[in-house]
């Protein structure tokens, strides 16, 4: 219906969310597709509180520690985990203590980092304890954080503020945030990636495009000195 976001695991299996349906796994060697049916609202940890109309499987990330597959339900207000090593996936979902989980990523230490699109926060979920740690972003009411990613070299979490044209670097070791202003207004950041030297790359787009300061989308590279 609406294939949305994908990740490839160490075995070469392509995992993707369908924002109008479920989560799927495609084996390129055989073209076989496996569908993973996601829990209903009353089956999620948290008793189904907060689920709105439509579930919208959205972001997806594969844990580098154990190969489990993590995803978000944007409108369903959930994060979930699929264990490919178990028949049927052993799918489990949790309700975050904020609104609008969107493009999540799993850190090298197994911690699951989630942007709170509807709450202006950065959330961290510990799968072992099933506990959340939530950090308010600067100017949180105007942030609308859409996406984040973890720098594989430093462990810093980079999260975007789509509502106030910023990128924020959160350093877990020191519990500090550094805000970087974007070079133009209405830079709606969609994705965050890193190159070999640790620089941050983001893509920006907004519709209609006439709302943006430069009248077009952009790809922006952020270089830091520390």
Q: What is the pLDDT of residue 55?
A: 76
Q: What is the pLDDT of residue 212?
A: 86
pLDDT at 50 over 80: no
Q: In 10 A of CB 85, how many CB atoms?
A: 9
Q: What is the pLDDT of residue 43?
A: 55
Q: What is the pLDDT of residue 226?
A: 77
Q: Which of 23, 22, 26, 21 is nearest to 9 (CA)?
A: 26
The terminus-to-terminus CA distance of the chain in angstroms comes to 44
Query: Which of 73-87, 113-127, 212-226 is most confident?
Result: 113-127
Q: What is the pLDDT of residue 85?
A: 93
What are the tens digits of pLDDT across the range 177-194?
999 999 989 988 999 999
Q: In 10 A of CB 203, how many CB atoms?
A: 16
Instruction: Say if residues 115 and 102 touch (Cβ distance below 8 Å).
Output: yes
* Cα R_g (the chain), whole angstroms: 17
Q: Model confidence at 223, in pLDDT bands (50, 70, 90)?
A: very high
Chain center to CA of 69? 12
Q: And the tokens for 192?
A: 């965050």
What is the C-alpha to C-alpha distance for residues 15 and 5, in angstroms, rounded to an integer? Answer: 8
- Taking residues 138-164, report their average pLDDT: 93
- pTM of the entire predicted model: 0.92
**What order of strands is seen across the sheet that includes strand 131-136?**
105-106, 112-116, 121-126, 131-136
Least confident interval from 57-61, 159-163, 210-214:
210-214
What is the C-alpha to C-alpha distance for residues 59 and 63, in angstroms, rounded to an integer? Answer: 13
The residue that leads in pLDDT, 15 or 211, is: 15
Average per-residue pLDDT in the chain? 91
pLDDT at 51 over 60: no
Could you tell me what percent of the chain has a pLDDT over 90? Answer: 74
Q: What is the pLDDT of residue 48?
A: 46
For strands 157-161 and 14-18, give the pairing: unpaired
Q: What is the pLDDT of residue 40?
A: 72
Q: What is the pLDDT of residue 47?
A: 46
- Taking residues 25-50, report their average pLDDT: 78
Q: What is the pLDDT of residue 220?
A: 94
- Taking residues 71-100, report their average pLDDT: 92
What are the tens digits of pLDDT across the range 91-145?
999 999 999 999 999 999 999 999 999 999 999 999 999 999 999 999 998 999 9
Q: What is the pLDDT of residue 45?
A: 54
């Amino acid at each position: 219906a609406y294939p949305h976001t994908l990740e490839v695991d160490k075995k070469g299996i392509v995992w993707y969310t369908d924002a109008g349906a479920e989560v799927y796994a495609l084996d390129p060697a055989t073209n076989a597709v496996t569908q993973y049916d996601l829990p209903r609202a009353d089956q999620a940890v948290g008793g189904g509180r907060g689920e709105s109309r439509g579930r919208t499987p959205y972001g997806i990330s594969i844990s580098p520690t154990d190969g489990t597959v993590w995803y978000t339900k944007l409108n369903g207000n959930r994060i979930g985990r699929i264990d490919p090593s178990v028949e049927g996936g052993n799918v489990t979902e949790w309700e975050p203590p904020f609104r609008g989980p969107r493009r999540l990523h799993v850190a090298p230490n197994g911690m699951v980092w989630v942007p709170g699109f509807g709450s202006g926060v950065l959330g961290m979920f510990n799968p072992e304890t099933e506990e959340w740690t939530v950090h308010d972003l600067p100017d949180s009411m105007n942030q609308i954080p859409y996406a984040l990613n973890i720098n594989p070299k430093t462990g810093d979490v980079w999260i975007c503020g789509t509502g106030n044209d910023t990128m924020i670097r959160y350093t877990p070791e020191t519990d500090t945030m550094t805000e970087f202003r974007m070079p133009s207004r209405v830079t709606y950041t969609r994705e965050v990636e890193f190159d070999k030297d640790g620089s941050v790359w983001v893509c920006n787009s907004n519709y209609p495009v006439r709302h943006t300061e430069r009248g077009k989308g952009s790809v922006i590279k952020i270089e830091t000195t520390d």
